[in-house]
Homo-oligomer: A and B are copies of this chain.
């Protein structure tokens, strides 16, 4: 089964927004056993949308479009696809009733622009939008049905060889995601048998991409000959090893491969699949019934933010201080003025005091403190931009690690946060 995604939106082509639909839909579809073959993004213009959809329909069994179903004048997907497939747009009473009640419940008059949303291509399945007004749509494109193309188009006579489905979803993620789960998944389960497909990602820290492959590729070779596929993905401070397989032996192949990689990389593997290091920290602390406090300078709240993204973080994270100004390091944490003036805010001595103060103030089992220079300004020859001290404290004592992360501000914050969490993970698993 061939699946393609067509994302529409001029804002995508102008680089004004990030296309999060691709990842989300590809991931959901892979979990259902349908790996997306191609994803295409085009602007909100008639010829581009029609050409992309026509080409995808000529290749794929399932085409999913995103965007262009809303009420504004640049929302053209519904009309263009109806025209492409030679379908009339007809008013749908269920959609009209939903939109009327959507605004009635909010005590707001219905904007005139939403009228276009009540017209759907003849014969289309309608997915009512639980989080907005524009409905999703699904159309079965019969075998041999010929999409209409502009006469000048070279592929005007493309034949669609077999019955296939075209699904149109609204652009806002808050509308698209629940609609996919509630309406599209049942359609796929009814219309397409998913192949057996298994994917497992092992996430490692502390080893470079080439070294990871050198270490594992040879040992995995016998499994590759039996159909296992291996992928490597390098990120700042971590490398993912992805094992995939299809068919009846898929689970067995992936399980054997995982055991081999696990044996070779050992504690370098911090987690699996979507697990971020913050999820691992919350899990490890929860298992140990231990608590954590934070004192952040240059990471500016990102440590707390990433940890509190994990549901259940409140059971282990007591809190943190973002002590950006020196006065905050003194007043909120209790770092001594002499330490700050003697060593400077970015120093091993201040990191050490910050972490001890945080642990004491919050009364936690563990504490992490970070002080450094995120840039772009603030560097000196002795302490260039990217210099950072990461301190860990627990009943077992204090340790401070000096790192140099001379990257842009956003990467600096992300990498330093990952390093600080990895330092705590190393402590927790070795204790």
Residues of chain B lying within 8 A (CB to CB) of residue A411: 174
| Residue A153 is within 8 A (CB to CB) of chain B in the complex | no
Cβ contact within 8 Å between A308 and B319: no
| Residue A397 is within 8 A (CB to CB) of chain B in the complex | no
A25-48 vs B: 1/0 string, CB under 8 Å?
A: 111111000011111111110001
Cβ contact within 8 Å between B323 and A73: no
A221-259 vs B: 1/0 string, CB under 8 Å?
A: 000000001111111100010101000000000000000
| Residue A265 is within 8 A (CB to CB) of chain B in the complex | no
CB distance from A304 to the nearest CB of B (A): 3
With A14-B242, A38-B42, A112-B214 given, is the CB distance from A324 to B328 under 8 Å? no
Cβ contact within 8 Å between B325 and A314: yes
**Number of copies of this chain that the complex holds:** 2
Interface segment out of the listed A86-94, A119-127, A144-152, A295-303: A295-303
Q: In this complex, what residue of B is CB-closest to A310?
A: B409
Q: How far is the CA of A15 from the CA of B25 in the complex (A)?
A: 7
Secondary structure call for the A interface = mixed
Cβ contact within 8 Å between A12 and B26: yes
CB distance from A164 to the nearest CB of B (A): 18
Q: In this complex, what residue of B is CB-closest to A376?
A: B311
Residues of chain B lying within 8 A (CB to CB) of residue A44: 231
Residues of chain B lying within 8 A (CB to CB) of residue A210: 71-72, 111, 113-114
Residues of chain B lying within 8 A (CB to CB) of residue A214: 111-113
Q: In this complex, what residue of B is CB-closest to A301?
A: B304
Cβ contact within 8 Å between B301 and A232: no
Cβ contact within 8 Å between A39 and B37: no
Q: How far is the CA of A334 from the CA of B361 in the complex (A)?
A: 12
CB distance from A333 to the nearest CB of B (A): 9
Interface segment out of the listed A16-24, A135-143, A188-196: A16-24
Q: In this complex, what residue of B is CB-closest to A18?
A: B23
Cβ contact within 8 Å between B74 and A377: no
Cβ contact within 8 Å between B37 and A42: yes
Cβ contact within 8 Å between A15 and B40: no
Q: In this complex, what residue of B is CB-closest to A293?
A: B328
Cβ contact within 8 Å between B37 and A72: no
| Residue A320 is within 8 A (CB to CB) of chain B in the complex | yes
Residues of chain B lying within 8 A (CB to CB) of residue A244: 10, 14
CB distance from A254 to the nearest CB of B (A): 13
| Residue A393 is within 8 A (CB to CB) of chain B in the complex | no
| Residue A413 is within 8 A (CB to CB) of chain B in the complex | yes
| Residue A100 is within 8 A (CB to CB) of chain B in the complex | no
Q: How far is the CA of A16 from the CA of B244 in the complex (A)?
A: 12
Cβ contact within 8 Å between B311 and A301: no
User: Can you spell out 18 A-B residue pairs with CB atoms less than 8 angstroms apart?
Assistant: A10-B244, A11-B240, A13-B36, A13-B39, A14-B26, A15-B26, A15-B29, A18-B22, A35-B43, A172-B235, A300-B304, A301-B322, A304-B305, A309-B410, A318-B328, A320-B324, A331-B361, A331-B363
* Residues of chain A at the chain B interface (Cβ within 8 Å): 9-20, 22-30, 35-44, 48, 52, 70-74, 111-114, 171-172, 174, 199, 201, 208-211, 213-214, 217, 229-236, 240, 242, 244, 293-294, 296, 299-305, 307-309, 311-314, 317-325, 327-328, 331-332, 361-363, 374-378, 407, 409-411, 413
Given contacts A15-B28, A22-B41, A321-B322, 20 further A-B contacts (CB under 8 A): A10-B229, A10-B244, A13-B26, A13-B36, A13-B39, A14-B199, A15-B36, A16-B199, A16-B233, A16-B240, A37-B43, A40-B41, A73-B217, A113-B210, A172-B234, A294-B322, A300-B308, A309-B413, A311-B409, A332-B332
